[in-house]
Amino acid sequence: MSNLSRRSVIGSLLAGGTAAVLGTSATDARSQGTAYNGYNRPLPADWSIPFDPSATRPTWYPRNLPTPGEVIHEYNIEVILTPHEILPMAHFPAYTYNGTVPGPELRVREGDWVKVNLLNKTHDFHTIHWHGVDVKCEMDGVPFSTQYPVGYNQTFQYLFRAQPAGTHFYHCHQMTNLHVQAGLYGAIIIESAVDPVKQQFPYTRDYTMVLSEVDTAFVEAQINDMELMGTQMDYMSRSPEMMAKMSGEMMGWFASKEAFMSAIKSGWIPPYASSVAGKFRQIQPNFFMINGKSYPMAEHIRIKRGELIRIRLIGAGMMPHFMHLHGHNFWHVCQDGAPLQCPVQMNTIPVFPGTTCDIIVEGTNPGNWHFHDHSDLCLTNNGASPGGMMTMLMYDDAAAEGFTFPEVLTLNS
């Protein structure tokens, strides 16, 4: 998985001023944040564990704009349609951010500004929704709700302050059931200067595992349909006469409920009506992926005896996954980016759609260990077992510790 912060950063810009100025601005913005959001209810007397009820408040007011001296990280992200290889001889046509599934990992410091220039090179519509990030509403990436979707060869610029700290992700919010399956998702990691996880568990390696699944036949058919519609529209856009014939009814777009009802009265048939849709074919995922790859092609996780590693699990798809690590217990330290009130000891962690879970693994048991979804359907590749959402926790020093069993790849057992 690529890390865009190292690879494709256009530049980290200091809008002017010095670090001292930066500190001042941030402080001002913080105070603005608390000013609009003040509730100070007393804790209920019977709440057994103390907590901070203000923890859900954004540190900075999301509607603020960058001020001189603040850091802005700028990224270019293109949506590209390209075949994606899950495994050798297993591909699907993928919508991708910058050509990879998942898209590039963005990693920024909390409080920095993020500017993303989205360019759509497909004939479909796309956006980016910043899942778990407290952006201002116009930057939320929901088509027809917070922005118009980005069409072929169009651009949209997202600008937001990176907050709150933690493991988050981004994904397209246009026809989400298709576009996320088709590959439009990626991790955004917002690092805190005072990370309690790092303080408690001084980990040395940091892994991100984006979990997802795909029904390859569904994606292929649907992308074809969407490209078909988009290609027609792009062709029509060359002719003002033809564009004049375009109407909301042709796209299923309406300015209001009243307009929608009016169209139905005038003879428009909605796409879900059985007279045009029949009965919808259920989506049946046949590949289950970690960072876009299925077993045995998913990247291994490396550890050494005595080492602490952090693994960020992201539920980007539509199914829950129950990640089980053999031979180890681990600490569940963060949920949806936020540190837990108290780490929880587990060996199987559920990762539900739209959630993120951070775990800390300690190298206590040298060997080569399976780390996989325990929902057995997801341990298959197009029905063949073993496969799917599985990787290995590999000890660098396994041999030195006396474990010599060779890694055997099984594809049919």
Q: Which of 65, 277 has the CB closer to another protein?
A: 277
Among 37, 145, 204, 239, binds another protein (CB under 8 A): 239
55 scored as a contact of another protein (CB under 8 A): no
Q: At 220, phi and psi to the nearest 5?
A: -65, -45
Q: Which of 384, 399 has the CB closer to another protein?
A: 384
Q: Give me the least distance between CB of 103 and another protein, in Å please.
A: 19
265 scored as a contact of another protein (CB under 8 A): no
Stretch that binds another protein, among 1-9, 82-90, 163-171, 178-186 (CB under 8 A): 82-90
242 scored as a contact of another protein (CB under 8 A): yes
Please name the residue that has the structure tokens 């099984």: 410
Pairing relation of β-strands 301-303 and 390-395?
A: parallel
91 scored as a contact of another protein (CB under 8 A): yes
45 scored as a contact of another protein (CB under 8 A): no
399 scored as a contact of another protein (CB under 8 A): no
Q: Give me the least distance between CB of 294 and another protein, in Å please.
A: 15
* CB neighbours of residue 87 within 10 Å: 18
250 scored as a contact of another protein (CB under 8 A): yes
Cα separation, 326 vs 409, whole angstroms: 17
Count of residues in contact with another protein, rule CB under 8 A:
32
115 scored as a contact of another protein (CB under 8 A): no
Q: Give me the least distance between CB of 412 and another protein, in Å please.
A: 14
Note the residue count of the chain. 413
380 scored as a contact of another protein (CB under 8 A): no
DSSP for 99-151? TBSS-PBEEEETT-EEEEEEEE-SSS-B--EEET----GGGS--BTTTBPPB-
Q: Which of 236, 377 has the CB closer to another protein?
A: 236
Residue 161 in contact with residue 62, Cβ under 8 Å? yes
92 scored as a contact of another protein (CB under 8 A): yes
Q: Give me the least distance between CB of 210 and another protein, in Å please.
A: 22
Give the contact letters, 194-233, x = binds to another protein (CB under 8 A), - = no: ----------------------xx--xx-xx--xx--xx-
257 scored as a contact of another protein (CB under 8 A): no
Q: Give me the least distance between CB of 226 and another protein, in Å please.
A: 9
Please give the single-letter amino acid code of residue 349. Answer: I
DSSP for 183-204? T-EEEEEEE-TT-HHHHHS--S
Q: Which of 37, 224 has the CB closer to another protein?
A: 224
Question: Percentages helix, strand, coil for the chain, rounded to the nearest 5?
Answer: 20, 35, 45
406 scored as a contact of another protein (CB under 8 A): no
110 scored as a contact of another protein (CB under 8 A): no
Residue 185 in contact with residue 169, Cβ under 8 Å? yes
Which distant-in-sequence residues (6+ apart) come within 8 Å of 264 by Cβ? 270
Q: At 24, phi and psi to the nearest 5?
A: -65, -45
Among 31, 34, 247, 410, binds another protein (CB under 8 A): 247
240 scored as a contact of another protein (CB under 8 A): no
Q: Give me the least distance between CB of 246 and another protein, in Å please.
A: 8
Q: Which of 1, 87 has the CB closer to another protein?
A: 87
Among 267, 272, 342, 412, binds another protein (CB under 8 A): 267
Cα separation, 33 vs 88, whole angstroms: 51
93 scored as a contact of another protein (CB under 8 A): yes
Cα separation, 31 vs 153, whole angstroms: 40
Cα separation, 36 vs 57, whole angstroms: 10
Stretch that binds another protein, among 25-33, 81-89, 313-321, 399-407 (CB under 8 A): 81-89
Cα separation, 385 vs 117, whole angstroms: 41
* CB neighbours of residue 11 within 10 Å: 9
DSSP for 284-336? ---EEEETTB-TTSSPPEEE-TT-EEEEEEEE-SSS-EEEEETT--EEEEEET
Positions in 287-316 near another protein (CB under 8 A): none
**Residues in touch with another protein (CB under 8 A):** 81-83, 89-93, 216-217, 220-221, 223-224, 227-228, 231-232, 235-236, 239, 241-242, 245, 247, 249-250, 267-269, 275-276
